[in-house]
A = this chain, B = another copy of it.
Amino acid sequence: MITTNAYAAFNQKDPLGPFQFERRNPGPSDVHIEILYCGVCHSDLHQVRNEWNGLSIYPMVPGHEIVGKVLSVGSEVKKFKKGDLAAVGVMIDSCRTCKPCHQQMEQYCVEGMTGTYNTYERGTKTIAQGGYSADIVTDERYVYQISKKLDPAAVAPLLCAGITTYSPLRFAKVGKGTKVGVVGLGGLGHMGVKFAASFGAEVTLISTTPSKQKDAERLGAHHFLLSTDPAQMTKFDSYFDVILNTISANHDYEKYLNLLDLEGKMMVVGLPSEDPKISPFSLIKNRRTVTGSMIGGTRETQEMLDYCAEKNIVADVEVIPVQKINEAYERMVRNDVRYRFVIDLKTL
C-alpha cells in the first residue's frame, strides 16, 4: 500500500486538518500520479458540510479537479508514462458495460458513476479519497492527458467547472451566430463565458450584480444583462438561443425561460437545494426547452482539454497553500473568489 498525506474533513463541523491514509498499489491498468494542484469546487464544501444528501462519509479528503505528474504506470497502461502530466476529474470509475459507458458518457452510467471522493471505490469497502492529497492511483480510463503549454494550476478547474460548462454548450450546438446567455458569474459561469465566446457565439452575462459587468467583458462577454432590472429583462425577452444556467442558489426558472427565442434551450448545470418552479405557459411559448447536464464523459473531457490547449483557455485562479483551505471555504461562501481557488499540493 501507499501511505498518502492529505487534508481531510473528519466530521461536518470541524475545520479540515492533516490526515494520512493508504492508497492501493497500482494495478496493471492504474496510473499513480503525484498531485501538483487541486481545484476547490463548491461541491467540496457541500459534501464536507454534509449539505446534499446527509450521507457524507468521513474522514473525507475532498477534491476532484486534480492535476499532477505520473510517478508510475501499470503494465497495461498505454496512454501514460512516468513524468507525463496527467489529470483526474469528478469520476474514477463506472460499470463500463452499460449503453452510456459504451458511448464514453460514463457520467450517465446506468448503475451510477463512482465519484472521486465521498463514496467507496467500486466494488470495495475502501473510501475513495480525493485530490487534497499528495498522490492518487486511478484507472487509466479515467485519467486525462494535459498539455505542457498551459499553467497546470489554472488547468485544474477545467476538470469540473470546465467540462460542466463545455459539455452543455456543445450539446446545444453553440457556435458562430448563436446568442448565448450565461446566468451567474462564478466558477462555472466564468468558464461558460470563455467557452461560449471561443465557440464564436454572441455572449451575454446575466447577473444580479452590476459590478460583474467589467469582469464579464474581460472574460469575453459582449453584453451584460442586469436581471434585477425589469426594463432590461423586457428588452431581452425571447432573445437567446441558448441560456446556460449556472445558479446554485434557489430560484424559479420562469424569469430566464422568458428570455428564450423560438426553440431556445436553457441548459441547467446548477443544483439548487429547493426544486425550482417552471411555468408551462412560458415553456409552450416559443417551444422552449430545459435540459439538464452533468459534467462530461471521458471522451468529451479529453476533447475539452485538447480544445483548451489549442485555444489557450484556462480558469482564472487564486492559488493557495493547503493550510488556507478552511479560510478559502469561508471566502467561497461569501462569493469572494475570482473565480476558483486551487491548492498547491507541494505545501502539504
Contacts and interface: CB of A to CB of B under 8 A. Distances in A.
A293 B289 contact: no
A348 interface: no
Contact of A105 (B110, B262, B270, B292): B262
Contact of A287 (B253, B280, B292): B292
A284 B90 CA distance: 15
B271 A280 contact: yes
A233 interface: no
Nearest to A99: B262
Contacts of A272: 280
A238 interface: yes
Contacts of A286: 108
A293 B283 CA distance: 7
A54 to B, nearest CB: 14
A229 interface: no
Given A108-B262, A291-B289, A276 B284 contact: no
A292 B238 CA distance: 15
B254 A275 contact: yes
A275 B276 CA distance: 10
Given A275-B254, A278-B275, A289-B289, A283 B268 contact: yes
A115 to B, nearest CB: 14
A275 B275 contact: no
A311 B253 CA distance: 40
A262 B108 CA distance: 7
Contacts of A283: 268, 290-292
Contact of A293 (B262, B276, B278, B284): B284
B294 A285 contact: yes
A277 B277 contact: yes
Interface in A144-176: 171
Interface in A250-283: 252-254, 262, 268-272, 275-283
A288 interface: yes
A89 to B, nearest CB: 16
Interface in A271-330: 271-272, 275-294
A59 interface: no
Interface residues of A, number: 36
A18 interface: no
A337 B20 CA distance: 70
Nearest to A283: B292
A238 B109 CA distance: 11
A100 interface: yes
Contacts of A280: 268, 270-272, 275-276, 292
From A252, A279, A287, A288, residue with most partner B Cβ within 10 Å: A287
Nearest to A164: B284
A278 B281 contact: no
From A105, A262, A281, A290, residue with most partner B Cβ within 10 Å: A290
Nearest to A238: B110
A284 B262 contact: no
Contact of A276 (B110, B270, B277, B294): B277
Given A105-B262, A254-B275, A278-B253, A268 B284 contact: yes
Contacts of A254: 275
Interface of A: 99-100, 105, 108, 110, 171, 238, 252-254, 262, 268-272, 275-294
